[in-house]
Amino acid sequence: MDLDSGEQHLIEKVAAIDLGKAEMVCCVRVPGPGRGRAQEVRTFSTMAPSVLAMADWLAGLGVTRVVMEATSDYWKPVFYLLEDTFETWLVNARDVKHLPGRPKTDRLDAVWLCKLAERQMLRPSFVPDPPVRRLRDLTRYRVDLVGVRTAEKQRVEKLLEDAGVKLSVVASDIFGVSGRAMLAALIAGERDPGVLADLARGRMRSKKALLEAAFVARFGTHHAFLLTAMLARVDAANADIAGIEEQITATLGELHDAASRLVTIPGIGACLAVAIIAEIGVDMSRFPTAGHLCSWAKFAPTVHESAGKSKSRPGTGHGNKYLARSLGEAAVMAGRSDTFLGARYRRIARRRGKPRAIVAVGRSILVAIWHILSTPGATFIDLGADYYDSRINPERRVRNHVRDLQALGYRVILEPAA
């Protein structure tokens, strides 16, 4: 089929941008003389003045939609400058692949993207509103800082193992009040196991004998120097995380109501609620149904059919890793609760394993989130931990158990209990 045919389905005036770090190529396609299409391609710098000059050029041509490919983070400054003036679309690179054997240049990329856009063969990616974007920057940076802190704590534990200090064998958290006091004493030069063990507080004091054995080690000045530097980095990360959390609270603003309603879902705490809102926003009109949201988040099974036969795939695909992390944490926490979601988690984990249970319960949580955010004032209503048991036919359960025992070679005689 000729790409220049079917003009009745075309977007009349459209532009497409192929982005790089330093420059971008913009292709515009508008109605030409007769029934044809006029095309113009220009190259611009990605500096703000050049982007604004391009916006003026596009506005002068009457362009209504601007499409760009999601290239690293280079799309962000251009998108943010254009979104208030044009209907700006960010599209997935997988949807814009060239035909095999076709030459690839920035100019040809822009032209190809523009032709696909004018024929409405692309779909826009989800780009949240500015308030949610600001919140997302903070929550994602907090996740990164927590990762940095965790890595530094692991280095501390490795250093203690190198010195023969077995504190982590006795204490579940070597960075608690007791652990930090003992580490500070080690740095200060204390080497007596009895004195170090006597620094334990609370329930740790019942483990003094084990602590004394744990501190019989070869901890020297070399280890003290490294431990000082590592603990300083842990403390700095703690301070940075606290500052980020204060800024998150200040930035939340009108989103606070939505976050407080998400907390009613088992497994979701205040921190996770904010992290989830930062990834999906609160405007669920972007996702027509809960299934659309689950599909976008890759918490739905993929469909692969060929020659009329459905072929299963082992996973759901790679979605938003920050959202997946939050939903996974929520699913694990819900699995420990005496709620419907907890019963669902344990029921699936017994039959199919914990990883599948996490995905299944994570999807259930995401469906609940969609309904809560779609309905003003809605909160989560728990169906109860006995939801499944109350709907199982007792006679069918008896038949199933009898059949299983007979399959194992037993003769079953049923007698009612007195």
What secondary structure does DSSP assign to 182-220, as a single string?
HHHHHHHT---HHHHHTT--GGGGGGHHHHHHHT-S---
Closest CA to 294 of 378, 367, 403, 347: 367
Looking at residue 387, what is its pLDDT? 85
**For residue 283, is pLDDT > 80?**
yes
Task: Name the pLDDT band for 315 (thresholds 50, 70, 90).
Answer: low
In a domain, 388, yes or no: no
Q: Looking at the structure, do residues 286 and 366 belong to the same domain, yes or no? A: yes
| pLDDT, mean of residues 186-201 | 92
pLDDT at 211 over 70: yes
Main-chain phi, psi angles of 39, to 5 degrees: -135, 140
Sheet holding 37-45, edge to edge: 37-45, 23-31, 14-19, 65-69, 87-91
CATH number at residue 58: 3.30.420.10
Task: Tell me the pLDDT tens digit for each residue of 86-104.
Answer: 999 998 877 777 666 677 8
pLDDT at 35 over 80: no
- pLDDT bin (cut points 50, 70, 90) of residue 34 is confident
Q: How many domains does the chain have?
A: 3
Q: Is residue 1 part of a domain?
A: no
The rounded mean pLDDT for the chain is 89
Is the whole model's pTM more than 0.85, yes or no?
A: no
Residues 229 and 269 in one domain: no
- What tens digit of pLDDT does each residue of 231-264 get? 999 999 999 999 999 999 999 988 999 999 999 9
Pair 145, 222 in one domain: yes
Shared-domain flag, residues 272 and 219 = no
Given a cut of 70, whether residue 313 has pLDDT beyond it is: no
**What number of residues does the chain have?**
418
Domain that holds residue 41: 7-118
Q: Which residues contact 212 (CB under 8 A, 6 or more apart)?
A: 193, 194, 196, 197
- Strand locations in 268-416 (E): 305-306, 309-310
Q: Are residues 167 and 269 in the same domain?
A: no
- 102 plus 186 within the same structural domain: no
pLDDT at 317: 65
pLDDT at 314: 58
How is residue 410 annotated by DSSP? Answer: P
Instruction: Say what the pLDDT of residue 7 is.
Output: 45
The pLDDT value recorded for residue 2 is 36
